[in-house]
Structure 1
Amino acid sequence: MNSHFRVSALALAVTAAVTGFSANVAAQEQTADQNIETIQVKGLRASLAKSMNEKRFSAQVVDGISAEDIGKFPDSNVAEALQRVTGVSIDRSGGEGRFVSIRGLGPTFSTVTVNGREIASENENRSFSFDTLAAELVRGVNVYKSSKASQLEGGIGGNVDIRTAQPFDFDGFTAAGSVKANYEENSGETTPNASVLLSNLFMDGKLGVLGSLTYQDRESENYRVANDGIVNNTLAYREHGRPTDGSPKTPTGVVHEDVYFHQAISKQFVNEQRQRLGGNLALQYQASDALRLTLDALYSKLDVDTVNNASGVWLWAPESGELDENRTVVKMVHADEYTGYAFNRIEKHRPSTTAMLGFNADWQITDELHVNLDLSSSKAKNNNKGLDSRQDVAMNKLAGAVFDYTSGSIPSLYLRDPVETSISEANIAKLTPRHQERSGEYVEANNDQLKLDFSYEVDGEHLVKVDFGAHYTSRDKTNNRYQTPDNINGINLIKAFQHWSDNITLTDEYVTIRRPGNIFSGATSLNADFYEVNEQALWDLVQNPETSLRLTQNGELVRAAILQNNGWTVTKKLDSFAVEEDVSSFYVDAYFSGTLADMSWNLITGLRYSDTSQSSIGRITDLASIQQEEEKDNLLLNFSTSATDEAVKNDYTNWLPSLNFNLNVSEDLVFRLAASKTIARPNLTDLAPSLTFGGATVHLRSARGSNPHLKPYLSTNFDASLEWYYSPSSLLAAAVFSKSVDDFIARTNGVETFDVELFGVDAEESWKQFDVNRPRNAESASIKGLELNWTHTLDSGFGVQSNITLVDSSAAIDVKDTTNVFAIEGLSDTANLVAFYEDGPLQARIAYNWRDEFLETAVAAYGSEPVFVDSYYQIDVSASYEINENFTVFAEGINVTGETVNKHGRFANHFVYYEDYGPRYNLGVRAKF
């Protein structure tokens, strides 16, 4: 039976049973004491005090943030607010926070829950996109850094729990809303944002209803420079100019071995529109003093449409260059007649939706026994089945360029013949269509969850309470990839025009000249002017079957392929996959308390058992035979005309103990110790059944694939902290932590034998053996860190928040060792400094966030070269003035100094990436009643 149906049916049955029983409870007047806490948080100081109280009285190591007022979160994005939390860092998309990392471990190493429920994600892996969730819907976020047996397993880094508003949070009728204008400095566009929240109580306060709605629109402009890869290889200089007789390019005799050189430079002018519509609805019913029922729903729709106009030069035929001490080509003169200037229009679309429905029954059965039943179902979808596209036009065999990375923070590029190769009306006729492609990725995720938690109070000398329960989660994620076919009767439609379209010239009907000039502040000379492809006009041209007849080769075959495929229509790729998981967990937590030398202490020790049943479903093209070619060293791989459906089972169990100890050294001083074992499950793309074969010779045969048999990462964690709460909204704290991670997943090579037929005079059984690169549980790594946190408020209204996190790992990459490819990605030191003023109706804040250099990718897609993100800081400001008790005007500035994102390769001058997304500003009014 379908797991979603099972959980949904169970939800209905249990809901009916609990609702029906509530009438009996009320009739019997069971009046178990249950205090309903109403919290009205207002202002930054009150928000800080609330977060400190949650940290102070928590049984675990936790940090968090709370809303400053109804519908007012400290930052306009949940992830951007979380970056202020000690030990938390974020990754941005389009200048907006998207992914969260905790204590240096990446987004896939943390679990994210909403009101304690795991929420589905529209990413192809397990990480949650925080930009799908509007900040106005959130009342608070806690980041749990130590583990407890009752918590859902799956987060080595930590657990992020997002709390949305509930009607019983408010005393009677409440209405709040805001309207603001968002101004993007780069684009010069101003767009609207609005939110509204309504809540009320009925039936003498027994029934509460809350609804909220939020809308955001952003139109941004980003400026990027990218290098398609650092190559570490032999470099031979070429003769100046291509031989007129058409013979192959020839070297000059100057050869450099084992050097690093840049593959290409691409200048990108990016327009992005983000539209987000979100809302939540919550119903709460106090059936009796002992029983509360809650039904709530959350919905978010995020559409991100990106148009990237890029112009690039491939640096593959230099005639001369300069090398530095690391044998890196820092200046390169590219030979004439070899150079191609490409202009690309690349569209990316992210039409995503996220929805969650949950039911909760909280029942105090007796004075000692409490039970909480929680059922939830969430679904996320990225509905892109071929919406993306790429269209290239190019002019080839023209004068070369000079690449120069000896000055400036990003490379410069000088045209050797500006008249012949410049962006001008006269040169449009030199353009011809090249690469044409449509693609997309459809991702659908479903999470169903059932939690049954019991709490029993014990009247013992030290044992005071026992929590126990059972959790069941059913997850599935489908990832279907779509692309224009690369083989229709031997024709690759994507590259059909790439080599034979020189006599198909373009006019201003197909391209438009754009002149943004030198918009890259770090370059001495890097003009961003480009030919912008008129999308529909170019599609009409290449999809016309008659156009293909003008190709210099294969015109009839291309025409037939276009007609057969209905143009560049996408088809589902074989590397599509799905992963299903069913997880059953049981736990017990024992709570102890006592005194030691007049110091009170609390201890929680627990054990969680988790059983995971996993199925990875995909298709693999079968290798049928290996045939020796005429050149006897080369082998030809022959594949079956069909593919094999693979459904690989993978089951594992884990015992996860935990311990949390708190000692109240004094009224204001808290000492904590924590230890636990936690797991993080493998990335879904690593679990997909997939295998791609590379080149094959009698001496070497290679392949690359995934691994459905992966086990989870297993981490042993220790924490110790000392926290001094020296005033109601002031704190000084220090914490140390360590994580020892076993079964770390890394790509390694291993010999695998395939059962295939062999043909050839020298055929040997050894030809069946391939060196296969797969992710495997092969490594161990340790992480150690120090966290310092100081928050201080003054009676004058001034205050400061500051924190720093320093981390180190045994798995750090050695840039001088090209064989070292195992390292923990995303690990970095972070720091925050926030100065604020709040007195009466006026509030102002300036926030500084810093993240040190970190490794983004240990093994890049184009080889074994790593990618590092340079150290980065951002300054945000905000101010508000309360006109009266109902209306407040406010202003916000994000990245007000216009900082840029920069990436480099193995060495600092291995340029990889630059992005300038500019400052943005908000001006608005907030109302509450």
Structure 2
Amino acid sequence: MLLFKPSLLTLALAAAGASISAYAADDVTNTATADENIEVVKVTGIRRSLQESQSLKMSSSSIVEAISAEDIGKLPDVSIAESLARLPGVAAQRLDGRANVISIRGLGPDFTTATLNGREQTSVNDNRGVEFDQYPSELLNRVVVYKTPDASVMAQAIGGTVDMQTISPLTHGEQTFAVSLRGEMNDLGALNSGSDDKGYRGSVSYIDQFADDTIGIALGYSRMVSPNQEERWQAWGYPELDYNSDNPFVLGGAKPFVRSSELERDGFLGVIEFAPNDFFKSTVDIFYTKFFDDQRLRGIEIPGQWGAGWGNSGITALETQDGLVTKGIINDAAVVVRNDVNTRDAESLSVGWNNKFQVNNNWAVEADIAMSKSDRTDLGMESYSGTGRGNGNGAVDQLGFEYDGDGSYHFSHNLDYSDPNVIKLGGPFSWGNPVGPDSQDGFINKPEIEDDLKSVKLAAEYIFDEGAVRSVEFGVNYTEREKTKQDNGFYLTLKDYPDMQTVPDAYLLAPTSLDFFGMGNMLSYDSLAFYNDGNYTETNADTVDLSRATNSWQVAEDVTTAFVKANVDSELFDLPLSGNIGLQAVMTDQSSNGTVASVDSGTVVKTPRTASDSYTEWLPSLNLGLEVADGQMLRFAAARTLTRARMDKMNANANFSYNANPSDGVNWSGGAGNPELRPWLARQYDLSYENYFSDQGYFAVAVFYKDLENYVYDQRSEFNFGEIFPEVGGNPIGLVTQPQNGEGGYVQGVEASFSLDFGLFADVLSGFGTVMSASYNDSEVKETSDSDPTTLPGLSEKTFNATVYYENSGFEARVSSRYRSEFLGEVTAISLSRVNVNVAAETVVDAQVGYDFSESGIDALYGLSVLFQVNNLTNEPFTSYTGDDARHVRDYQNYGRNFMLGANYKF
């Protein structure tokens, strides 16, 4: 169906290769042929990608952004998240040097839904937000970001919906075999013993059609072994010197380290299409990824001002600048030498079966069934060593420190921290007593996540023979989702406790250099092998730690969505008008199984708890596009949208303490999850103007306003403990801190994007071009009308993206830059928990050059292309800080540059 009348520009775009996936929503049109009198020039590479993305944006009834593959198995960037981060209004947060999760229009990953071929995806983390580096870019054909919803999009979200689309082999229409291979290297080198700074990534794709083009298949496989190195400065915090508010702030403590990791990812794609005639089409698609990340982290943890209770005799301030001690000495300092290991083993599987049947000229029906499944097992191990067991024992050092101005500190020292006769296995601080005094010699986390989602959709469309309403679509979608987290954690104690132990020669490794912050070499050993060989005694943390006992949970949702949508194709003031108006009724049943825990005589006592709730929300939507001139669209959209609450906050867990004789009359108090938590809701309004002035050039500007009806806050709430412990008398109503739906606010912003082929101005500039975008976001969200505004996670006030490219006669060069102003991000904290921190502004620059031998005239090399890429060209660090002073750095991460050299071959 056409959403506005096809101009010559529209037809040219389609002829240039802008074919739309059969999986895309019905509002993204596939114009299959052009008028024969239009001259068609086939384009490839960057320009092909830009033209197809522009066609997707132009032909949609919603306000969308799109990314299209330059060729089979070749999206513009090395990851989906990095490509998404170049789109207007979209920003990415980096994890271990790579783009990982995204924010859309100032709303963080919690407010974004990810789909594959239109079907909602599970996630490998504690929540719903999809980590996009899980999806190999080589196996995806395009990605469409829906900024405004319509009633036929089942997985809506307040921020937006990201639909990743695989290729349609029948639409592709020709036999294709493509293979690619790239070598990869990190310029920081191998920072840890046993690590590697070199890796590779490769892929192979096969597409074909059989039985007179009634059967099509697409098969793809990708593998990546990617090294990553990091020098990280991490601070505990910044208390006042001598704990006096009149004194300057000073370093509370530090945990700097180097990290070496190797990420292995395998991906498989399979698509089978069957279209025996013009009336029926059946498609089965399978997408599988397996993801293993092995990280070795080695460093020295240094108590500063907060370490006075652990043996040091305080800090001597030597220099102070603007209320911060920038140079000083930590007197009689004891440290802990850390040899840590983090691994993540995750896999995701998505399977879908879609059937479309054109009954007659008026009726069409569709049936779709799908499943998505994700599993993850982590291991996070901490291994401690030092000069003596417990506080105040062992050799100490005089540690000088000086702030270097870029977010980290440089130290001086006297002890040799690489000497195994000085640094021995065992806990140098009194951090825990699992089996006796000062018996915590390490800790190991082993959380497990399982996420399962099943869906069934039945829909129909009636097409009118005439009238302003072109067709009406209606149907129902049913999903079942269950997510489980099992949080396992164990204190580690040496079997030789209470003695410290010299590291056996079998586990010793070459020392690790910590010269980047001045501490020289440190003792390094294979801590995981030492653990696996049975040298530690384990104590289950949930038997002694109340918060750990309520970290495991199970959350389930059954959601039925009924929808109806009228597609409009008419005129207004003699101008073509298209779009849709629709309504969804979303009926939800949610439940959780959890644990209520308390401490009795030093032992955690656990009681099972189950809780549930149900609700219905009505979500109207409107999308209208007015073609005010040839190639110029004015769009307006309005909708009520929802984003479901975080699953890790919907659990039925509670921990509490009981006071038989309270002064305030409240016997029970504690903390809890909330299985009755309702979704975030918003009314949103969008207005955009889009001017498509060439087949590879457009200008667009959009404004939006999201009226948040509510927001989720941690609040003190009444909790009926009598329902759990009916045998206990007295007042059963207690007070717990738990997430609750509170007051809302607004998010608003403006976006502008621009794409230009310089060849429009002069032939000599042919092949040169640029793509630019910028956005500005603002928000005000309050818990109550009298409270201070809440900072929204993921909201950057300003983002800017720019790409300059050249592509001609087979040569290709591109430099891309993305800027994101400071924002509130979510990072990993102690025991793999998640916390929000302030993330500093950053500018990430990538570059690539290449040559396609298909343009060389050498027949033997036809189909071969070579490529050289540099990611993080300017070596931009990732920096987070606490409070309002950017010098109070929490985390300063230096990743180095990644270089890739490779080749692609297609025939």
Residue 777 of structure 1 pairs with residue 754 of structure 2: no
Q: Deviations over 1:532-557 (max 9, x none)?
A: 1332674489837xxxxxxxxxxxxx
Alignment of 1:157-306 (within 5 A): 157-187=159-189, 189-231=197-239, 236=242, 255-256=244-245, 260-306=249-295
Aligned partners of 2:132 and 2:367: how far apart in 1?
Answer: 27
Residue 16 of structure 2 corresponds to none
Query: What is the one-letter code of the residue matched to 2:568?
Result: F
Residue 380 of structure 2 corresponds to 388
- Structure 1 residues 791 and 78, CA, compared in 2 at 3 Å: closer, same or farther? same
Residue 481 of structure 1 pairs with residue 487 of structure 2: yes
Q: Which range moved further: 165-174 or 503-512?
A: 503-512
Residue 3 of structure 2 corresponds to none
Contact 1:331 1:402 in 2 (8 A): no
- Structure 1 residues 429 and 663, CA, compared in 2 at 3 Å: closer, same or farther? closer
Query: What is the one-letter code of the residue matched to 1:207?
Result: I
Contact 1:513 1:529 in 2 (8 A): no
User: How far is 1:707 from its partner?
Assistant: 1.2
Residue 804 of structure 1 pairs with residue 777 of structure 2: no
- Structure 1 residues 347 and 357, CA, compared in 2 at 3 Å: closer, same or farther? same
Residue 795 of structure 2 corresponds to 827
Residue 599 of structure 1 corresponds to 575
Residue 450 of structure 1 corresponds to 456
User: How far is 1:576 from its partner?
Assistant: 1.4
Q: Deviations over 1:446-478 (max 9, x none)?
A: 111111221211234322211111111111111
Residue 550 of structure 1 corresponds to none
- Structure 1 residues 865 and 361, CA, compared in 2 at 3 Å: closer, same or farther? closer
- Structure 1 residues 103 and 694, CA, compared in 2 at 3 Å: closer, same or farther? farther
Contact 2:637 2:687 in 1 (8 A): yes
Aligned partners of 2:425 and 2:811: how far apart in 1?
Answer: 61
Contact 2:318 2:329 in 1 (8 A): no
- Structure 1 residues 270 and 319, CA, compared in 2 at 3 Å: closer, same or farther? closer
**2:781 alignment partner, SS class:** coil
Residue 427 of structure 1 pairs with residue 407 of structure 2: no
- Structure 1 residues 604 and 819, CA, compared in 2 at 3 Å: closer, same or farther? closer
Q: Deviations over 1:789-827 (max 9, x none)?
A: 0110122110000001110111399xxxx9958321110
Aligned partners of 1:707 and 1:326: how far apart in 2?
Answer: 44
Q: Point out where structure 1 has 5 or more consecutive residues left out of the alignment.
A: 1-33, 238-254, 485-492, 520-524, 545-557, 624-636
**RMSD (Å) for aligned C-alpha atoms:** 3.5
- Counterpart of 1:745 (choices 674, 696, 712) is 712
Residue 518 of structure 1 pairs with residue 507 of structure 2: no
Residue 68 of structure 1 corresponds to 70
Alignment of 1:363-442 (within 5 A): 363-384=357-378, 387-395=379-387, 397=392, 398-402=395-399, 404=401, 406-415=403-412, 418-420=413-415, 422-424=417-419, 427-428=422-423, 435-442=441-448
Residue 110 of structure 2 corresponds to 108
Contact 2:299 2:514 in 1 (8 A): no
Residue 355 of structure 1 corresponds to 349
- Counterpart of 1:853 (choices 802, 818, 822) is 822
Aligned partners of 1:404 and 1:110: how far apart in 2?
Answer: 43
Residue 247 of structure 1 corresponds to none
Query: What is the one-letter code of the residue matched to 2:889?
Result: F
Residue 667 of structure 1 corresponds to 630
User: Under a length normalisation based on structure 1, what TM-score does the superposition of the two structures give?
Assistant: 0.81
- Structure 1 residues 88 and 865, CA, compared in 2 at 3 Å: closer, same or farther? closer
Q: Deviations over 1:24-60 (max 9, x none)?
A: xxxxxxxxxx997799973211211111111111100
- Structure 1 residues 81 and 283, CA, compared in 2 at 3 Å: closer, same or farther? same
Residue 578 of structure 1 pairs with residue 554 of structure 2: yes
Aligned partners of 1:858 and 1:129: how far apart in 2?
Answer: 13
Aligned partners of 2:710 and 2:738: how far apart in 1?
Answer: 14
**2:513 alignment partner, SS class:** coil
- Structure 1 residues 126 and 537, CA, compared in 2 at 3 Å: closer, same or farther? closer
Aligned partners of 1:529 and 1:69: how far apart in 2?
Answer: 48
Query: What is the one-letter code of the residue matched to 1:217?
Result: V
Aligned partners of 1:791 and 1:495: how far apart in 2?
Answer: 61
User: How far is 1:604 from its partner?
Assistant: 1.4
Aligned partners of 1:880 and 1:430: how far apart in 2?
Answer: 51
Q: Deviations over 1:567-614 (max 9, x none)?
A: x9xxx9553111111100111111223223332112411110000111
**1:899 alignment partner, SS class:** coil
Residue 922 of structure 1 pairs with residue 900 of structure 2: yes
Residue 313 of structure 1 corresponds to 302
- Structure 1 residues 432 and 783, CA, compared in 2 at 3 Å: closer, same or farther? closer
- Counterpart of 2:807 (choices 828, 838, 846) is 838
Q: Deviations over 1:393-443 (max 9, x none)?
A: 12254445556465422342434xx33465446634697675222221111
- Structure 1 residues 690 and 496, CA, compared in 2 at 3 Å: closer, same or farther? farther
Residue 707 of structure 1 corresponds to 674
Alignment of 1:522-537 (within 5 A): 526-527=518-519, 529-535=521-527
Residue 877 of structure 1 pairs with residue 847 of structure 2: yes
User: How far is 1:202 from its partner?
Assistant: 1.1
Q: Deviations over 1:837-895 (max 9, x none)?
A: 11121111110111111122699989999721110011111122111231111111111
Contact 1:344 1:533 in 2 (8 A): no
- Structure 1 residues 378 and 103, CA, compared in 2 at 3 Å: closer, same or farther? same
Q: Deviations over 1:142-171 (max 9, x none)?
A: 000001011124411001001111211322
Q: Percent identity?
A: 26
**2:57 alignment partner, SS class:** helix
Alignment of 1:536-615 (within 5 A): 538-539=530-531, 543=535, 575-615=551-591
Contact 1:37 1:169 in 2 (8 A): no
Residue 334 of structure 2 corresponds to 340
Alignment of 1:48-67 (within 5 A): 48-67=50-69
User: How far is 1:376 from its partner?
Assistant: 0.8
Aligned residue-pair number: 816
Contact 2:150 2:582 in 1 (8 A): yes
**1:514 alignment partner, SS class:** strand
Contact 1:431 1:506 in 2 (8 A): no
Aligned partners of 1:298 and 1:707: how far apart in 2?
Answer: 34
Contact 2:743 2:782 in 1 (8 A): no
Aligned partners of 2:835 and 2:489: how far apart in 1?
Answer: 28
- Counterpart of 2:97 (choices 95, 98, 102) is 95
Contact 1:110 1:158 in 2 (8 A): yes
